Amino acid sequence: MPVDPQRSARSAATGLLVPATTAPRRHGVAFLRGFLRNPGQVGSVWPSSRWLEQRLVQRAGIAQARTVVELGPGTGGTTAAFLQALPASGRLLAVELDPGFHGHLAHTLDDPRLLLELASAERLADLLAARRLPAPEAIVSGIPFSTMPADVADRIAALVAQVLRPGGRFVAYQVRAHVARYTAPHLGPARREWELLNVPPVRVFSWTKPA
Ligand SMILES: C[S@@+](CC[C@H](N)C(=O)[O-])C[C@H]1O[C@@H](n2cnc3c(N)ncnc32)[C@H](O)[C@@H]1O
C-alpha cells in the first residue's frame, strides 16, 4: 500500500512513516463527549494530533525509557503512541480522572505494558508505590493546570518533580502557560516550543531533572 506522507506520522521508535490507517486512533467523538461532560477538567475539544504525539514521544525520550507515566490519557491517542515507542520491557502508568475516559481506555487499549489508574494525578506517588514501580524516566502530562485550583496544581507539580528519576524528563502540553509557573520552583525554567499542527495549537514545555 503506498504511504501518503500528508496523512502519515513518523514513528519515533523506528523513524518510519506510519500510515494513517495504522496510526493510533484518537476517538474524537468520545473525546468531545468527555469535553462536554466536564470542559474545565478536559481542557481541549479534540484529541492531540499525531504530530503532537510524536513531538511528545521525542521530547520525553519514550523509546529509551523503562518506566513512563502519563497524566491525563483521555481517549488514549497519546497513550497508544507512547506504547508504540516504548521498549518491550517498559511500563506505562496512565492516570485518568474521568471515569468515562478510563472505561474507554480499558476497552480499547490491550497491552500488558499498560497500567491504567482511575485517579487524580495528586495520588501519583501512592500509585507508583502501590504498583512497585521504580522512579519514572519520563512523565508526560496533558492535564490542564490553568483550570484546576492553584493548591492542586502546586501539589501535582511538586509531586512530579519529587518522583521523577534524576536525569528524567517532564513534558507538558498545554494551551496556556500556567504549568511552567507551577513547575519552575522545582525543576527550573522550561524548554518552550509550539506545536502548530494541532487543534488548537499548543505549547510544549520540557524539563530534565538534574542528575
Ligand atoms: C487535554 S486532555 C488530554 C487527552 C489526551 N492525552 C490527548 O492528548 O488527546 C486532558 C486529560 O486530563 C484529564 N485530567 C484532568 N485533570 C486530571 C487529574 N487531576 N488527574 C488525572 N487526569 C486528569 C482529563 O480528564 C483529560 O482526559
Cα 173 to Cα 12: distance, rounded to the nearest angstrom? 18
149 assigned to some structural domain: yes
Compute and round to an integer the Cα radius of gyration of the chain.
Answer: 16
**Residue 63 burial (CB count, 10 A):** 17
C-alpha 8 to ligand 1 mean position (Å): 25
Q: How many domains does one find in the chain?
A: 1
The number of residues in the chain equals: 211
Q: Cβ(24) to ligand 1 under 6 A?
A: no
18 assigned to some structural domain: no
Domain that holds residue 191: 49-208
CA dihedral 80→85→90→92, nearest 10 degrees, is -30
11 assigned to some structural domain: no
Three-state secondary structure call for residue 110: coil
55 assigned to some structural domain: yes
pLDDT, one tens digit per residue, over 77-88 is 999 999 999 999
State which ligand 1 atom lies nearest to the alpha carbon of 73.
6
State which ligand 1 atom lies nearest to the alpha carbon of 44.
1
pLDDT band for position 7 (50/70/90)?
very low
Q: What confidence score (pLDDT) does residue 135 get?
A: 98
pLDDT, one tens digit per residue, over 135-184 is 999 999 999 999 999 999 999 999 999 999 999 999 999 999 999 999 99
CA angle 156, 123, 73 (to 5 degrees): 75
Q: Cβ(97) to ligand 1 under 6 A?
A: yes
C-alpha 121 to ligand 1 mean position (Å): 9
Angle of helix 28-37 versus helix 99-108 axis, rounded to 10: 160
Read off the C-alpha cell for 210: 538534574
Residue 85 belongs to domain with CATH number: 3.40.50.150
* 11 pLDDT more than 80: no
Q: Cβ(159) to ligand 1 under 6 A?
A: no
Q: Cβ(61) to ligand 1 under 6 A?
A: no
Q: Whose CA is nearest to atom 6 of ligand 1?
A: 73
Q: What confidence score (pLDDT) does residue 24 get?
A: 55
91 assigned to some structural domain: yes
Q: What confidence score (pLDDT) does residue 207 get?
A: 98
Q: What confidence score (pLDDT) does residue 9 get?
A: 46
Q: Cβ(56) to ligand 1 under 6 A?
A: no
C-alpha 48 to ligand 1 mean position (Å): 11
* Residue that has been written with the C-alpha cell 493510533 in this structure: 24
Q: What confidence score (pLDDT) does residue 26 get?
A: 78
